Amino acid sequence: MGTVNGMTVEGATVPTITLNNGVEIPQFGFGVFQIPPADTAKTTLSAFEAGYRHIDTAQMYQNEEGVGQAIADSGLGRDEVFVTTKLNNDGHGTESAVSALEASLRRLRLDHVDLYLIHWPIPAKDLYVQTWKGFERLLADGKARAIGVSNFQPEHLDRLARETKVVPAVNQIELHPRLGQVELRKYHEQRGIATEAWSPIGQGDSLTEDRIVELAGKYDRSPAQIVLRWHIQHGSIVFPKSSNPERMRENIDVFGFELTDDDMTAIDNLNQEKRRGPHPNLFGA
């Protein structure tokens, strides 16, 4: 139970996943990509009212101020909300990664984030190892409770393992039924890196797949709930975006049913290795 915007609101019952440094992350959160800066405070507050307690933002989204305002206005305690932000592509390098988080913290009105991610590896710049050393310092200084990466490929993770000390707590990757990322998820599991799924419903694309629509009928659930439940049963962390309070509530309501093993496999079989976003090796150079 907590107070949001003066109202007593119960957080949704969401399981947590224990990251490799012991920090607990709610497995279900709210993503704010493409929410216009001017709408972000109101939309994030609606998400809190719908029971969300984990927000995924980024310097690139230019809406950290709105997230910070919503947290302040909500009345929720700092330890009731899990906040992730991500380093922008122009901030690679040890010192700039550190100062970029300090600027984020000012915009978020926080003294620490729960998770700080390198948004893209940008191998053409070849600065992600130095950047990670800045992240290690922020972790040691308590400015981030956990540090991780996004859009990293095995070769980037291997290099961090060889040249730095801290194993990333998460890798946030594009992941939805048409892009199953089977090998990368297996790699994460072997190394104790949690998988976070971005665009978990394929920005809406997954919802019109015949098989998903058929399963929605079978379980008397929406197509979005079927896809989000599939992620949850695979152990991934998800944070679908919606600007619509009704869909926010629908999306997080996936803890009262279970897909059978056969139906999990049927969704696994929709994999076409089809990305919506750019290839991680090419973006941001």
Ligand X SMILES: NC(=O)c1ccc[n+]([C@@H]2O[C@H](COP(=O)([O-])OP(=O)(O)OC[C@H]3O[C@@H](n4cnc5c(N)ncnc54)[C@H](OP(=O)(O)O)[C@@H]3O)[C@@H](O)[C@H]2O)c1
Residues labelled as active-site residues: 61
CB of 3 to ligand X, least distance (A): 25
Query: Could you say which DSSP state residue 119 is in?
Result: S
Q: Which stretch binds ligand X (CB under 6 A): 70-78, 161-169, 198-206, 211-219?
A: 198-206
CB of 11 to ligand X, least distance (A): 19
Comparison of 42 and 75: residue with beta carbon closer to ligand X: 42
CA 45 to CA 50: how far, in whole Å?
9
Letters for 132-151 (x = contact with ligand X by CB under 6 A, - = none) are ------------------xx
Near ligand X in 204-243, by CB under 6 A: 204, 207, 222, 224, 239-243
Q: What's phi and psi for 17, nearest 5 deg?
A: -115, 135
* Per CB under 6 A, 26 contacts ligand X: no
CB of 141 to ligand X, least distance (A): 24
Tell me the H-state helices in the chain. Answer: 37-49, 64-74, 94-108, 128-140, 154-163, 182-191, 210-219, 223-234, 245-252, 261-268
Burial 153-173, CB ≥16 within 10 A → b, else e:
beebbebbeeebebebbbbbb
Structure token pair of residue 181: 């990322």
Tell me the H-state helices in 141-209. Answer: 154-163, 182-191
Query: Could you say which DSSP state residue 90 is in?
Result: G
> Is residue 75 within 8 Å of 48, Cβ to Cβ?
no
Among 14, 19, 32, 179, binds ligand X (CB under 6 A): 32
Beta strands 113-118 and 82-87: pairing type? parallel
Near ligand X in 56-95, by CB under 6 A: 56
Among 211, 247, 249, 275, binds ligand X (CB under 6 A): 247
CB of 57 to ligand X, least distance (A): 7
Comparison of 220 and 262: residue with beta carbon closer to ligand X: 220
CB of 8 to ligand X, least distance (A): 26
Among 99, 244, 265, 272, binds ligand X (CB under 6 A): 244
Structure token pair of residue 184: 């990368």
Beta-bridged to residue 144, according to DSSP, are: 113
* Per CB under 6 A, 203 contacts ligand X: yes
Among 199, 226, 237, 270, binds ligand X (CB under 6 A): 199
Residue numbers at the binding site for ligand X (CB under 6 A) = 31-34, 56, 119, 150-151, 172, 198-204, 207, 222, 224, 239-244, 247, 250-251, 277
